[in-house]
């Protein structure tokens, strides 16, 4: 599991992640949601070891996060920064040279499932197709944790559904976990086990999706909308009391 305790990350004078304590269990698909600038991407980068901080701790399966975390984690950034002069096939070969856990054959199967031409140059692909290439490369790794930052960004609805089906088909949900940030809640809701809501760098809710459906009889989007409304009303009341 991933254990986070008292984690804080600043960019200059701005707090991006504020005293976050949370546990992510193995064998789950977990949605990380919130408004833009709420700290989702920063939290994923900290878990992936891309960013470091001196305040708080992150342990993955009992080991502190370091550059060695790459052996357990596959990280998909939101940035559109794949190698433009590679073909999709060459991208997969590059991953194969960098990661012992990468399966070139599996990446090609995922690419075929996503209807992606592996011989196409990345620089000639649309942003959505480059996104498919990055997802195929990421899922080509066999790791315990997949950390995905807005994996559905820039993709049309039909492609989003294919990718969501791919998440289920190409990972072993008994032994592997996906933690992903997303604004596409309606698309992602059917496969989510848990949802974590961030606001202004803090975690304001961490719930089982099934509990929300059963106890509150709400879909996730409605529940989250109500949660943010309650937060704002509480802040207004607190401001009036000063």
Q: How many domains does the chain have?
A: 1
Domain that holds residue 214: 1-72+146-152+178-242
Q: Is residue 126 one of the residues assigned to a domain?
A: no
84 found inside a domain: no
pLDDT in tens, the chain (242 residues): 899 999 999 988 889 999 999 999 989 999 999 888 889 999 999 999 888 888 999 999 888 887 777 688 999 988 777 777 899 999 999 999 999 999 999 999 999 998 899 999 998 888 888 888 999 999 999 999 999 999 887 777 777 888 888 888 898 888 999 999 988 888 888 889 999 999 999 999 999 999 888 887 878 888 888 888 887 777 777 667 66
Considering only CA atoms, which of 91, 95, 99 is closest in space to residue 123?
A: 91
Of 16, 68, 67, the closest CA to residue 198 belongs to: 16
- With respect to residue 101, please indicate whether it lies within any of the assigned structural domains: no
Residue with tokens 């066999």: 142
Alpha carbons 21 and 37: distance in angstroms, whole number? 19
Q: Are the C-beta atoms of residues 26 and 81 closer than 8 Å to each other?
A: no
In a domain, 48, yes or no: yes
User: Does some domain include residue 46?
Assistant: yes
Q: Is 232 a domain residue?
A: yes
| Burial label, 235 (beta-carbon count in 10 A; 0-12, 13-18, 19+) | exposed
Residue 43 maps to a domain = yes
CATH number at residue 62: 3.40.50.300
Q: Is residue 119 part of a domain?
A: no
């Amino acid at each position: 599991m991933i254990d986070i305790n008292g984690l804080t990350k600043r960019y200059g004078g701005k707090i991006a992640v504020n005293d976050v304590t949370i546990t992510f269990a193995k064998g789950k698909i977990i949605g990380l949601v919130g408004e833009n600038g709420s700290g989702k991407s920063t939290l994923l980068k900290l878990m992936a070891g891309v960013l470091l901080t001196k305040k708080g701790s992150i342990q993955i399966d009992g080991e502190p996060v370091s550059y060695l975390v790459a052996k357990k984690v596959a990280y998909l950034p939101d940035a559109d920064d794949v190698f433009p002069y590679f073909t999709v096939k060459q991208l997969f070969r590059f991953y194969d040279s960098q990661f012992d856990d990468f399966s070139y054959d599996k990446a090609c199967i995922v690419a075929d499932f996503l209807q992606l031409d592996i011989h196409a140059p990345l620089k000639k692909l649309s942003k959505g197709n480059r996104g498919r290439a990055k997802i195929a490369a990421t899922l080509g790794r066999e790791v315990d944790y997949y950390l995905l930052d807005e994996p559905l960004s820039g993709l049309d609805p039909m492609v989003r559904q294919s990718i969501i089906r791919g998440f289920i088909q190409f990972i072993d949900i008994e032994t592997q976990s996906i933690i992903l940030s997303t604004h596409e809640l309606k698309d992602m809701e059917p496969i989510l086990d848990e949802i974590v809501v961030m606001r202004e760098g803090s975690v304001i809710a961490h719930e089982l999706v099934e509990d929300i459906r059963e106890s509150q009889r709400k879909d996730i989007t409605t529940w989250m909308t109500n949660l943010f409304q309650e937060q704002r009303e509480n802040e207004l009341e607190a401001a009036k009391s000063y």
